[in-house]
């Protein structure tokens, strides 16, 4: 199983240029068919609170772009989009399309970023999901979710093999991003892939550091601060052998992990 992270600068609130940039980067990366490819949080518009300007409308342009690109490249493609929620609020979602262009999973961010106003503009999701990507069990998350290990714990309890994080994580706390991705891998004995953006928006600057981390917290791929695609092959057999040899997850207190990850 191979996973790739596409790290790029995002043009503020303009779908077309962002679709074109992603398509160009992925086409040049020679990604093997059947791989999982990750795009950043709100990759087609940037982290905006202007729901009417950026939410998917009737044409569902960004969803169609994801479906068409997944089909064209023969990959599983996971990207961050803005859906429509209740009472005029948005839904910060990660949507996955199969190599056939079919939607296979849709996750809504459990922890909107209240300090940045997101909790007022976006409704919260209801918790983790699991989906099968080839032979790999994946659980997707979004940005601020990373700060809350209890959000990922149900996925760890369900033996997810890969946790993915799509993000717009600013420079000011970039060292936290790196350490928290490693921590989530170590405590859940699984692979972790996090894709961040680069560039600037009206509020923040972003320096990337998209990472792929193995089940022992070791960084196996690092995008640095450039526009690029990084990838790695996940050693799932080695991960499962490690889990059998060090069965830490078997000691999880079930009364402390009360929520179940929903399979889709």
Active site (annotated) includes residue 143: yes
Catalytic residue among 109, 123, 136, 190: 109
Active site (annotated) includes residue 109: yes
Per-residue pLDDT at 59: 87
Supply the CATH number for residue 144's domain: 3.60.110.10
Give the count of domains, the chain: 1
Q: What secondary structure does DSSP assign to the chain, as a single string?
A: -EEEEEE-B--TT-HHHHHHHHHHHHHHTTPPTT-EEEE-TTTTT-S---HHHHS--TT-HHHHHHHHHHHHHTSEEEEEEEEE-GGG-EEEEEEEE-TTS-EEEEEE-SS--GGGTHHHHB------EEEEETTEEEEEEEGGGGG-HHHHHHHHHTT-SEEEEE----GGGHHHHHHHHHHHHHHHTSEEEEE--EEE-SS-EEE---EEE-TTS-EEEE-TTSSEEEEEE--HHHHHHHHHHS-GGGG--TTT--PPPEE-
Active site (annotated) includes residue 136: no
* Containing structural domain, residue 226: 2-263
Catalytic residue among 5, 6, 136, 143: 143
Catalytic residue among 2, 5, 6, 41: 41
pLDDT in tens, the chain (264 residues): 999 999 999 999 999 999 999 999 999 999 999 999 999 999 999 999 999 999 998 889 999 999 999 999 999 999 999 999 998 999 999 999 999 999 999 999 999 999 999 999 999 999 999 999 999 999 999 999 999 999 999 999 999 999 999 999 999 999 999 999 999 999 999 999 999 999 999 999 999 999 999 999 999 999 999 999 999 999 999 999 999 999 999 999 989 998 899 999
pTM attached to this predicted model = 0.97
């Amino acid at each position: 199983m191979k996973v790739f992270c596409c790290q790029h600068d995002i043009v503020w609130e303009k779908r077309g240029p962002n679709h074109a940039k992603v398509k160009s980067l992925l086409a040049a990366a020679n990604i093997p068919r059947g791989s999982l490819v990750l795009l950043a949080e709100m990759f087609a518009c940037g982290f905006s609170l202007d729901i009417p300007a950026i939410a998917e409308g009737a044409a569902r342009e960004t969803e169609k772009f994801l479906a068409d690109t997944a089909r064209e490249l023969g990959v599983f493609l996971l990207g961050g989009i803005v859906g429509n929620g209740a009472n005029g609020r948005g839904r910060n979602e990660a949507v996955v399309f199969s190599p056939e262009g079919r939607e296979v999973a849709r996750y809504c961010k459990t922890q909107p970023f209240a300090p940045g106003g997101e909790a007022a503009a976006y409704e919260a999701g209801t918790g983790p999901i699991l989906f099968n990507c080839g032979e790999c069990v994946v659980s997707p998350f979004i940005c601020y979710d990373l700060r809350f290990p209890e959000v990922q714990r149900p996925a760890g309890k369900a033996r997810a093999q890969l946790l993915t994080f799509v993000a717009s994580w600013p420079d000011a706390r970039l060292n936290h991003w790196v350490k928290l991705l490693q921590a989530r891998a170590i405590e859940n004995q699984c692979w972790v892939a996090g894709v961040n953006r680069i560039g600037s928006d009206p509020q923040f600057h972003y320096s990337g550091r998209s990472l792929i981390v193995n089940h022992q917290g070791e960084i196996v791929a690092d995008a640095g601060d450039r526009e690029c695609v990084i990838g790695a092959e996940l050693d799932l057999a080695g991960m499962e052998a490690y889990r059998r040899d060090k069965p830490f997850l078997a000691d999880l207190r079930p009364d402390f992990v009360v929520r179940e990850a929903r399979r889709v």
